[in-house]
Chains A and B, each alone.
Chain A
Amino acid sequence: GAVVSQHPSRVICKSGTSVKIECRSLDFQATTMFWYRQFPKKSLMLMATSNEGSKATYEQGVEKDKFLINHASLTLSTLTVTSAHPEDSSFYICSARTLAGGIYEQYFGPGTRLTVT
């Protein structure tokens, strides 16, 4: 199946700094990528939908100036957490969607554990 990678897998940063997380589709092109956030023992919460070459669409309650998303190519999307605070500590998961044979399917990255101290 299709593979999605994320980098880094873990990151610890100090409060006030910015952190960039990369999401790559390794063996397919993804016109649409998604960013999710997951709190401990909770399900995935969609943060934003990213279409290649256009601005991301953010879900209600997600600050677009804090969570900057760039989808500059068909295989790469980035999420930058700006001026991070301890409450931004979470597990961030990206996903890339394919359309083949008229069927949409999403593939998920392994996640990035962000800890803000």
Chain B
Amino acid sequence: KQEVTQIPAALSVPEGENLVLNCSFTDSAIYNLQWFRQDPGKGLTSLLLIQSSQREQTSGRLNASLDKSSGRSTLYIAASQPGDSATYLCAFFGRAGGTSYGKLTFGQGTILTVHP
């Protein structure tokens, strides 16, 4: 069964720091990996989606990388701001033939707090 693990579970930093959030997965049959943001009591906002053929995606201060061989994805947040405070979730979408085909498997999330 696919497992998606996120480290750390929680992170509290002062404003301006560069951050690294980690996501690891056990199933190598990956179709894509998505990073989401969730504010308290709200739905999910898609941040970045990396196809299995890609190594990274960038959007503004966010950069996500994918290393299929090691089963890892990393979300970099540059120059963090208090408005970045939220829960960040990674989600694995498996390709046909794998155990996770057809549905997203979520990590437990990293709760990020950025202090002014």
Contacts and interface: CB of A to CB of B under 8 A. Distances in A.
Interface of A: 1, 4, 6, 34, 41-44, 46, 49, 91, 93, 95, 103-111, 113
Contacts of B109: 43
B interface residue count range (under 10 / 10 to 19 / 20 to 34 / 35 or more): 20 to 34
Nearest to A94: B43
A43 B93 contact: no
Given A104-B32, A105-B46, A107-B46, A43 B106 contact: yes
Interface of B: 31-32, 34, 36, 41-46, 49, 51, 89, 93, 102-104, 106-109, 111
Given A42-B108, A49-B102, A49-B103, A108 B32 contact: no
Contacts, number: 51
B43 A106 contact: no
SS class, residues of chain A in contact with chain B:
strand
Q: Which of B43, B89, B109 has the most CB of A within 10 A?
A: B43
